[in-house]
Amino acid sequence: MSQLETDMTTDVTARAAEVLKEHRASIDRLDAILVYTLGERFKHTQAVGKLKAQHDLPPSDPSREATQIARLEDLAVQADLDPEFAKAFLNFIIQEVIHHHEKHQESGA
C-alpha cells in the first residue's frame, strides 16, 4: 500500500471515528431527555394515582389505555419507529403506573 493510500485510509478512519463520536453524543443527550421525560411523566401519574385513591377510582382505565396505545402506535409510524416496539414500551410504562396506582389504593392515598 502506498503512503497516499495509507493516508487516505487513515483520513477515512479518523472521519468515521468522529462521526461515531457525534452519534454517540446525540444518543447520550437523547437518553438524558428520555430519563427526564419519564421522570416528569411519572410525577403526573403519581398525582393521578393519589387522586384515584382519594376518590376510590379503579387504578386502571382499560379504555384510556387502549386509546393511548393506538395513539402511540400512530405516532410511532409517523416517527418511523416500529409500532410494535412503541406498543410494548407503552404497555411496560402502563403496567408500572398501574402498579403505583394500586400501591396508592392500598395505602389509602
Q: Report how far residue 47's alpha carbon sits from residue 84's, in angstroms, rounded to the nearest whole number.
A: 28
Q: Global pTM?
A: 0.75
Which pLDDT tens digit goes with each residue over 68-101? 989 999 999 999 999 999 999 989 998 998 888 8
Which pLDDT tens digit goes with each residue over 20-57? 999 999 999 999 999 999 999 999 999 999 999 899 99
- On the CB side of 101, CA atoms within 13 Å amount to 19
Model pLDDT, residue 2: 77
